Structure 1
Amino acid sequence: MRIRPATPDDYPAIDDLVIEAFGQVDEARLCDMLRRDRAVALELVAQEGDALLGHILFSRFTAPAGWLALAPVSVRPGRQGKGIGGALIREGLAQAAAEGWTAAVVLGNPRLYGRFGFSVAQAGNLTSPYPLEYTGLRWLGEPGGAPALELKYPDAFARLEG
């Protein structure tokens, strides 16, 4: 398996993969909107031969500056639970840190994302449009504690809900 940057030629296959992984179109629509809005900071795929097995996307928060939103992470059904998603998350976080991003935030299962250094406790003072009990914060450089900041997601997140 090889992890590499996504290219525009991958987008149709990524859409199919994301829809298959989530069983609905919302996450694929989110990816498309984030790309159109030029809000994508990092997008990777896991490939084996000609097949895409997984995908991850990090978008730029409108505020705070230098922060990333991790959403979505997708792995093809039948290949889930085999480390592909974890490899994508680790590689994405490593690349984001190398590029100088400050922090990443994820909305999801605290136990799952806690394995990758995301902390609900550190996100506890954030203001977010989403439930804080499912919001994890991971510092990509020096740990910054539990900041009291407002998360402003890219507009695509609100448009998806509307």
Structure 2
Amino acid sequence: MIEIVPENPAQHADAIEDLFDRTFGPGHFAKTAERLREYSASLPHINRVAVEDGRVIGVCRVWPLVVGEARRPALFYGPVAVDPAYRGNFLSLRITEAALEAGKAAGWPAAVLIGAFSLFGKAGFTVTPKNRLTFPGPQDQGRVMVRDLAGDASELEGLVTAP
């Protein structure tokens, strides 16, 4: 049986890093999204981990960020990774939805995600208008999405940075 639980860093951190390496390869550190993560710390109480028989098979990490000159707070969702043996059953979507609920329950106003609308649109994300959100590096604007949590994601505009 697959359980989706909050991340316990002492228990899950090494397995999550191994999953990221197996899923994305070493090139994932070169992505623009990593520029946001390297100056921040994920939020284990909001992160969600899929576990089966004590083994980490999926994860959605979540990071605080601020947007624009107004420095509006939001959460950055990702990376989302699922063990290749478990792909095809929307586990990544289930993990992300659990993390979104945790972010909303914690009072965060909005979520930002870089990914495929064909998947994450099912979790309520919408693609932002081109260049409404900019990043500290090149980013495919067609993959930049937002979603309301406990506030209004349409208020987000400008440069996305770590807090």
Which structure has the highest strand share of the two?
Answer: 2
**TM-score of the pair, normalised by structure 2:** 0.79
Match 1:94 to one of 98, 101, 104 = 101
Equivalent residue in structure 1 for 2:149, among 140, 143, 150? 140
Alignment of 1:46-125 (within 5 A): 46-63=50-67, 64-120=71-127, 123-124=128-129
Match for residue 21 of structure 2 among 19, 22, 39: 19
Which of residues 123, 133, 140 in structure 2 aligns to 1:127?
133
Tell me by how many angstroms 1:87 deviates.
Answer: 1.1
Deviation at 1:141, TM superposition (A): 3.0
1:42-73 CA distances to partner (integer Å, 9 max, x unpaired)? 32211011211101111011334330111100
For residues 120 and 58 of structure 2, the distance between their equivalents in structure 1, rounded to whole angstroms, comes to: 17
* Length, aligned pairs only: 150
Shift of 1:142: 4.9
* TM-score normalised by the chain length of structure 1: 0.79
- The one-letter amino acid of 2:14's match is P
- Distance of 1:4 and 1:107 partners within structure 2: 23
Structure 1: gaps (5+ residues): 156-162
Give unpaired runs (5+ residues) of structure 2. Answer: none
Secondary structure at 1:81 match in 2: coil
- In the alignment, what sits opposite 1:159? none
Distance 1:52 1:150, change over 3 A: same
Match of 2:160 among 128, 134, 152: 152
Confirm or deny: 8 A CA contact 1:53 1:84 kept in the other structure: no
The structure with higher relative contact order (CA 8 Å, sep 6+) is: 2
Structure 1: distance between partners of 2:125 and 2:63: 16
